[in-house]
Amino acid sequence: MRLRFLLRPGWLALTVVVFTFAICCYTLLAPWQFRRDGEQVTQNNALTTSFTAKPAPAAQLLPPGTKPDKNTEWHLVSITGTYLPSAEVVARLRTVQGQGAYEVLTPLRATDGTVYLIDRGYVGLSSDSGVLPYAAAPGGQVTVVARVRSDETDPKNREAFADASTNGKLQSYTVDSRVVAKSSGLTIRPGYFQLDQNQPGVLSPLPLPQLESGPYFSYALQWLAFGTMALLGWLYFTIRELRPGGALTTERPQRGRRKSVAEMLAEDEDEYSPTA
């Protein structure tokens, strides 16, 4: 029976590989790229809206107990309060426009008592990869306009620490309100708030993401195409094997026996020997 070849170990292995790859393309890889495309669209929309919308009070956009999410991230908020420079932390191992940098994180206590983590921007590295001197946060009450950002997450859950590279100032591996809250003992609301230029306390403001669609949608279509091509290829070879003469056919046409060298020499002698 021609279908028996489907049960051969080699063909079974090929079938498992092809179908596993196709399933991954359809259920994991393509949806992952579609999600990234959706996130890019959401980010672009939020940034575009923020260019013309008036800043909302932080407590209004993010009521107590709420965290920044895709619907609030990048939106502009206004906060009035006082900086707490004694709880300042710098985030290390950052890259800004292709250059190494530190980001300066300073808590700010609002007039209602809520503490917000303000990302004041970045400073460059010194010759020994330490943090360059930078201006202190202004004293007294200030009103800042900042962009809502979600906390970063350190997979290793490392705490803030101090060493000689930052002249004893606490540093962290992520921009995370939880890390600064733990190091300072303050109760800091979730998320952080990134200053734009010309704001009180800003250093070098972090550049905004580019408004571009990115390659994610085309990547998703490519994964769908790869999965389909794999299945079509498997189907093609399956149909080919069902026809006579397939690569896995066990019955092969009999070929003539190969002549030995002696037999070929004898034939040559008979062909060229003079006739009587």
pLDDT at position 275 is 56
| Alpha carbon of residue 235 to chain centroid | 34
Write the CB contacts of 75 (distance below 8 Å, at least 6 apart in sequence).
Answer: 46, 49, 50, 53, 56, 61, 147, 148
Q: What is the pLDDT along the chain (276 residues), one digit of tens a residue?
A: 566 767 778 888 888 999 999 999 999 999 999 988 887 887 787 777 777 778 999 999 999 889 998 888 899 999 999 999 999 999 998 999 889 999 999 999 999 999 999 999 999 988 787 888 999 999 999 999 999 999 999 999 999 998 877 777 899 999 999 999 999 999 999 999 999 899 999 999 998 877 777 788 899 999 999 999 999 998 988 888 777 665 555 555 555 566 655 666 566 666 656 654
pTM: 0.69
Q: What span, in angstroms and rounded, lies between the C-alpha atoms of 89 and 153? A: 16
Parse the chain into domains and list their residue ranges: 1-52+215-251, 55-195
Q: Which one-letter DSSP state was computed for residue 74?
A: T
